[in-house]
Structure 1
Amino acid sequence: MGESSRGRGVFVGLTTLDLIYQVEAVPASNQKVVAQDVAIAAGGPATNAAVTFAHLGGDALLLSSLGQHPIAGSIRADLATWGVQHRDLDPERQASPAVSSILVTAATGDRAVVSRNAVGAQVAGDRLPADLMQALKERRFDVVLIDGHQMAISEAIAQQSRALGIPVVVDGGSWKPGFEAVLRHTDYAICSANFLPPGCDSADVLPYLRSLGVAQVARTHGSQPVEYLKGEHAERVAVPTISPVDTLGAGDIFHGAFCHFILQLGFEAAIAQAAQVAARACQSFGPRRWMKAPPHEENPRFPKPD
C-alpha cells in the first residue's frame, strides 16, 4: 500500500455475501413474506470494518478467504466499489464463500441472521504471504484489526505487528477457540455483550482481557453506553439516542471507525466518535446507504472499478 496521511489499515477475518431483506416481521414456519426493501453487499466483521475505514479516508487492505467460486466475483466487485483492496488467503478454493441471509424488521431495525462463517475455510498460519509480512516489517501499515474468523493467520499477524509497535485491534463479537492467543498480542480489545470467554460471566470479561495483557479494553452494549476500564475502574461512554432503521453491521462499522479515530485520538474519544458513526449507519437500511458516495467518487486515490 502506498503512503497515506490518513491511515493504512489491515483487516483480517471473514468475508461473506450478505442478502439483506427488510420485512414487516420475521416469517413463521411455512410462511412467505414479501420484502419491503433488499440490499446485497459484501459482509463480515472485518469486511464491513475495512469498508468503513476506507470510507473515512484510509487505505484499507482486507485479508480473507474467497477463492474461485463465481460468487467471489460479486464480492470483489463490491469491495472495489468502496475502495477496499483485497488479498485472498485461499485463492485456489473452489467452494462458495459464506453467504448470509438476513431479515431486518422494519419497525425496530432488529436483525435475524442465518450464515455460515469461516469454520470450514480456515487458513493455516504459515500461509501468510511473505510480501505481506515484509510490508509489516517495513511498517507500511498503521493499524491492524482482527475479527477472530481466521485465527491462525490472525495470531501470526498480531504477533508480528505487536512486536513492531503497530497497534492491534480485536473485534470480539463472540468468543472463538484460540482467541486467547491473539489477545496476548492485542493493544485494543472492544467486545460485544455476547463475548463471553470460558468461565467468565459478564462482569469478568474486561478484567479477563486485561489479564491477557490487553492495555485498552471495552465492551459495547447495543444502544446502552460503552463500558471500558480506565486504570482499574469501569467508566462509560454514552452513545447517541436514535430510532434505528437497521442495526446490521453496526458493531463492524463501529470497529472500522474506531481504527480510523484511534490513529488521531485517545481511547475514550475514539470510542465516542466511532459510536457516532455507527449510530449514523443504523439510521438507514443496509450496510452502505449511510455512506453518501463510494470512495472512488470522493477520493481520487481510489480508481473506479472496471
Structure 2
Amino acid sequence: MAKIVCTGMACLDYLFKVQRLPEGGGKFFATNYRAAPGGPAAAAGIAVAALGHEPVFIGRLGDDQVGRDILRHLQDRGVDISHVKLVTDQTSQVSSVIIEDTGERQIINYSSSSLDPDPDWIDKQHLAGADFLLTDVRWPEGTERALRLARELGIPSLIDADIAPVDISGLADLATYTIFSERGLEMVSGLKDLEAGLARITDSSSTWPAVTSGEKGSYWLKEGKLHRCPAESIEAVDTCGAGDVFHGAFAVAMAEQKEIDEAMRFAGVVAALKCQSFGGSLGVPNRTAVDSYLSSSRF
C-alpha cells in the first residue's frame, strides 16, 4: 500500500441535480441533492483511498461547522486528516454545484480571502514515509512549500494544474508531473493549441506535462509527438470532481510504478466510472470495479 500525500483545497460541495442548467434569473427546482466533500486535493485523496492506498490530506480549514463536516466526510472515506490546520474564526470553503441531466455542471465557489495562506507550518515530518505527493493550485503557497520539501526528500510529485488565483507558471518546474486542465494549460503556456502548449511547457520546464480535455480524453507528448488517450464511452450523470479523481488515480498509478500510457488510461477509466453516478466525489469507484472494467475492455 502506497502513502500518497494530497496537499491543497478541501471544501463542502452542495450538489443540485436539474434537468437543464439555469439561464438568467428565477426560481429553479432540483430533482436530487447531496452534500459531498470536494476540492481538488481532497477529492483526489478520496480516490486514492477507494483505489486501495493510504491518502494523507494537508490543508487549511476554518474551525467552523462546515470545516468539521468536511473532516468527518474525509475521515469516513479513509483519508488521514491528522495534518489539517483548523484556523479559529475563519470560514471554510463551500461550493454550490448545479448538475444537469447530461452530467455538465456549473460551480460557484466561496473561498475566504482571510484564511491564512502561510505554509511554513508544513515540514518534512508531514511528508515522512510518503511514496508520492499530489498538489492542487488553489493554495499556491502550500503547493510550493510541499513541492520543495518533496524534492528535498526525493518524493515524486504531481500538480493538478487547473485555473488558479495567481500565476502558477513557476510551480511546474518543481514537480515531476504536471497535468493541466485546458484552461490551466492556456493560462501557463499562453497558447490555445494543446500540442503547442505542451511543447512550450516541455521546452521551458523540467516537468512532464499532460492535459485533460473532458470527453475528448487526455493528451501528452511522446517522443515529440502528440499522444492521445481517448475518453471512455459512458453515459455521464455527474462530471463534478472527474478531473480531481483523474489526478488521484494517476498518482496511484505512478505509485504502483505503471508506465505513462497505462497510467493515463487507468486514470481516465477511474474518472469515467465516477461520472456514472450522482454525488461528486462520493461516486468514486472502488478498485474492484475499476479492475473489472479494465479486464473486460480493450484499449
TM-score (norm 1): 0.86
CA contact (8 A) 2:93 2:112 kept: yes
Post-superposition CA distance 1:79-126 (Å, at most 9, x none)? 1110111245542332221111110001x1110111124654352132
Deviation at 1:210, TM superposition (A): 1.7
Q: Residue in 1 aligned with 2:197?
A: 205
Among 74, 79, 87, the residue aligned to 1:79:
74
Q: Which residue of 1 aligns with 2:125?
A: 134
How is 1:1-306 mapped onto 2 (pairs within 5 angstroms)?
6-87=1-82, 90-106=85-101, 108-117=102-111, 119-128=113-122, 130=123, 133-136=124-127, 138=128, 140-195=129-184, 196-197=186-187, 200-203=190-193, 204-264=196-256, 265-291=258-284
Deviation at 1:10, TM superposition (A): 0.8
- Secondary structure of 2:267's partner? helix
- Give, as a single letter, the amino acid of the residue that structure 2 aligns with 1:222: G
Aligned partners of 1:271, 1:47: CA distance in 2, in Å? 20
The more displaced of 26-35 and 39-48 is: 26-35
3-state SS of the aligned residue for 1:179? coil
Q: Amino acid of the residue matched to residue 178 of structure 2?
A: A
- Give the fraction of aligned pairs with identical amino acids, expressed as a percent: 27
- Give the partner amino acid of 1:158: L
CA deviation digits over 1:121-156, x for unaligned, max 9? 35213232x4xx1353x5x00110111112112112
Segments of 4+ moved more than 6 angstroms? none
Alpha-carbon distance in 2 for matches of 1:21, 1:250? 16
Q: 1:13 to 1:37 in 2, by over 3 A?
A: same
Structure 2 gap ranges (5+): 288-299
| Partners of 2:253 and 2:211 in 1: CA distance | 17
**Change in CA separation of 1:146 and 1:102 when aligned onto 2, cut-off 3 Å:** same
TM superposition score normalised by structure 2:
0.88
In structure 2, give the amino acid aligned to 1:103. I
Q: Is residue 176–residue 207 contact of structure 2 (8 Å, CA) maintained in 1?
A: yes
Contact 1:10 1:62 in 2 (8 A): yes
* Farther-moved stretch of structure 1 (85-94 vs 247-256): 85-94
For the 8 Å contact 1:49–1:257, the answer to whether it is kept is yes
Q: What's the C-alpha RMSD, in Å, of the aligned pairs?
A: 2.1
* Counterpart Cα distance in 2 of 1:170 and 1:56: 19
Q: Flag the structure with higher helix content.
A: 2
Cα distance in 2, alignment partners of residues 180 and 273 from structure 1: 27
The 8 Å contact of residues 62 and 89 in structure 2, kept in 1 or not, is answered as: yes
Q: Deviations over 1:160-206 (max 9, x none)?
A: 21233211101011254242332111111111111123561123421
Shift of 1:228: 0.2
Q: Displacement of 1:237 after TM fit?
A: 1.2
Give 3-state SS (helix, strand or coil) of 2:61's partner: coil
Cα distance between partner residues in 2 of 1:142 and 1:241? 32
3-state SS of the aligned residue for 1:77?
A: helix
- The answer (yes or no) to whether the contact 2:168–2:188 under 8 Å persists in 1 is no
CA contact (8 A) 1:89 1:123 kept: no
